[in-house]
Amino acid sequence: MTIDETLSRAVRTVLKESAFFSSLDEAELIRLADRSRLARFAQGEVLLAQNETGDIAYVILEGEVDIYVDIDVARVYLAQRGTNQLVGELGALCSIPRTATVEARTPVIAAKLARDNLREAVISNQELCFQIMAELARRMDDMSQPLAYLSYAASALERNEYDPAILRALDSDPGKLGTFTKTFRNLADEIVAKRQQREELAVAAEIQRSMLPRQLPQDRLPPAYDLSAMMRPARDVGGDFYDYFALDDRRLGVVVADVSGKGIPAALFMAISRSIIRTVATERPDAAATLQHANQVLSADNDAMMFVTAIYAIIDLQTGELEFCNAGHEPLYRLGADGALEQLFGGGGLPLGIEGSASYQSDRLTLKPGDALFFSTDGVREAFDRSREAYGNERLEAALRQAAGQPSRDMVEGVVGDVDHFTEGAEQSDDITCLVVSWTPATR
């Protein structure tokens, strides 16, 4: 669509005021304007695309456009242009890839200037050629200092030595990549904040790992057991935990638990729950009494309404007698050396922290030599693959049978490895905790 005289006059005015075309005489301006074509763009439509080599420049006659650059991590907005402004002239003249995208911020009417017509005007005007070269040099000069600052700031950011003051010299001259500098600063500040948060989370994760027991209490107990455990949080810190400790010179206490929620709040409640259960266990005679008293303490003033599922077992390492209490937790498995598998739901009660008056009951049985107990949290059974299918009980029980008779460490690694194989490529959605303890009394 051709343009009328009024629009042609507007195009000539814009070209006359531009740094590239101001030396054209009136006849050349008229010829260039009259050869332009009218173009209309809806809001959000792209006039010029980053990285594309185009042969068009536009004079904006009505409306506004956004100019932005897409980089790997963000979209950086550089500027806005509006009525009676020229965009894309450098790419059209020089046949180079566009360095930015121009997108209609509002509905836009523009005059489209073709490369052939632009070059014809340039070639016929030697003074214009020199003027374009001078303008390109000026633009490069104007950008060199800001780019130096930005390059130094980027390098400092990479070295974790970034200081916002590095870019202060660019604040007083918004024309020198001012919008980009502002966006860079915002992104840099966000990166620094996230780094700091990651460092804090790393410290929290290290503190949480340090709370898990590392040494087996074999100096106080007969060497009649083999125990291994693993806890892998879905985030930096998690709400699962395990614990084991000597109750006297013959009994081993084992706890596996799962706090509601994720992240820092769950980790804090986990730390409190672990400390309370361990302290109470040394003062109470059986598993049910231990969890009942721990529940009373955790339920008091629990304004956050958090809770913890837990299973607590006491093993007499001389007789193989097992006592266990389940507070709303995953069932316990007993695995014989011959592969016989038994699911132990046991007595118990509500998760800890919900109702202070809740009562709890223990179950008892006697282990056979070579029997292994498998404790876990629901992050094992409820691990999902990429199609959102759960790992489930059948796969878990098959993995346990496959691991029968192996040392506890191999059993833990076998189950976790099978879960990882099943969920390969999927994000871990919940904390995963496994603990295996086998009773292996010395034969006389």
CATH 2.60.120.10 residue spans of the chain = 5-124
Handedness of CA 314, 315, 320, 324 (dihedral sign): positive
Low-confidence ranges of the chain (pLDDT < 50): 140, 444
- Transcribe 382-415 into DSSP letters: T-B-TT--B-HHHHHHHHHHHTTTS-HHHHHHHH
- Give the span between the Cα atoms of 269 and 354, in whole angstroms: 13
- Strands (DSSP E) found in 190-327: 225-232, 240-246, 251-259, 308-316, 321-327
pLDDT tens digits along 425-440: 888 888 899 999 999 8
Number of Cβ within a 10 Å radius of residue 2? 10
pTM over 0.85: no
CATH topology assigned to domain 212-439: Phosphatase 2c; domain 1 (3.60.40)
Q: Please provide the CATH number assigned to the domain covering 5-124.
A: 2.60.120.10
pLDDT, position 397: 94
CB atoms within 10 A of CB 287: 30
Contact by Cβ (8 Å): 395, 348: no
Residue range(s) of every CATH 3.60.40.10 domain in the chain: 212-439
Q: Is the dihedral of CA 180, 185, 188, 193 positive or negative?
A: negative
pLDDT tens-digit map of 120-169: 766 666 565 555 555 555 554 555 556 666 666 766 766 777 777 777 76
Torsion of CA 19, 25, 29, 30, to 10 degrees: 160
